[in-house]
Amino acid sequence: MMDDLKELYQEVILDHSKHPRNFGKLDPCSNEAHGYNPLCGDTLNVFLNLSSDDVIEEILFDGKGCAISIASASLMSEIVKGKTKVQASTLFDKFHDLVTKEDSTLLEDDDMERLVVLAGVKQFPMRVKCATLSWHALQSALNGNKDTTTE
């Protein structure tokens, strides 16, 4: 039991949840979205500055959430900075597989190696939405949608 929990709440996760990187509001910004998880009432806002050639130049996020959702948002913000819209979407797909699929072997790049700390979530199906909330919000922001929910 403690093994599953330790896998879920790794040091990196606890560190990012207590000291989230890129936490705050970006004002003004080119794109933003409000992510909402109706299951728990948590909210997570993502703010971006997207260049004319669709590169994420700046990203900040804020909101209220559990250790998993805040850590996931924090890691995401570090990783997608400097990526193009298409690259970020591809990463989201890979990340989604990582936290939902039992035999995901998608660790061929450095970014995914950093995200693998969240793989423990798949032992806790109720918590997958916590890990993906920020990614849903990012996707909405990139697509020009304001609001998104995990449902």
Partner 1 sequence: MNKISSFDVERIREDFPIFLEKIHGKRLTFLDSGASAQKPRVVLDAVQKAYTETYANVHRGVHYLSQQSTELYEGARKTICAHMNARSVDEIIFTKNATEAFNLVAQSYGQLALKPGDEILLSYLEHHSNIVPWQLIAERTGAVVKAVPIDSNGEFLMEEYLKLLSPKTKIVAVTHISNAIGTIVPVKEVIKAARDKGIPVLIDGSQAMPHMKVDVQDLDADFYVFTGHKVFAPTGVGVLYAKNDWLEKMPPYQGGGDMINRVTIEKTTYATGHSKFEAGTPPIVQAIGLGVAIDYVNSIGFDAIAAHEQALLSYATEELTKLNAVRIIGQAKNKAPIISFEMEGVHPHDIGTIVDQAGVAIRVGHHCAQPLMDFFDVPSTARASFAFYNNTADVDALIDSLKMVQEFFG
Find the binding residues for partner 1 in span 59-78 (CB under 8 A).
64-68
Are 123 and 137 in contact, with CB atoms under 8 Å apart?
A: no
Amino acid at 76: M
19 binding partner 1? (CB under 8 A): no
Stretch near partner 1 under the rule CB under 8 A, chosen from 40-48, 79-87, 97-105, 142-150: 40-48
Helix and strand numbers, DSSP H then E, in the chain: 6, 4
Cα 3 to chain centroid distance, Å, stands at: 24
41 binding partner 1? (CB under 8 A): yes
Q: Report the alpha-carbon distance of residue 74 to residue 77 in Å, rounded.
A: 5
Radius of gyration of the chain (CA): 14
14 binding partner 1? (CB under 8 A): yes
Find the binding residues for partner 1 in span 103-142 (CB under 8 A).
124, 126-127, 130
Residue the block writes with tokens 């998993």: 68
Whichever of 38 and 82 has its CB closer to partner 1, that residue is 38
Q: Is 78 helix (H, G, I), strand (E, B) or coil?
A: helix
Q: How far is the CB of 101 from partner 1 (least distance, A)?
A: 20
Interface positions with partner 1 (CB under 8 A) = 1-2, 4-5, 8-9, 14, 18, 39-43, 64-68, 124, 126-127, 130
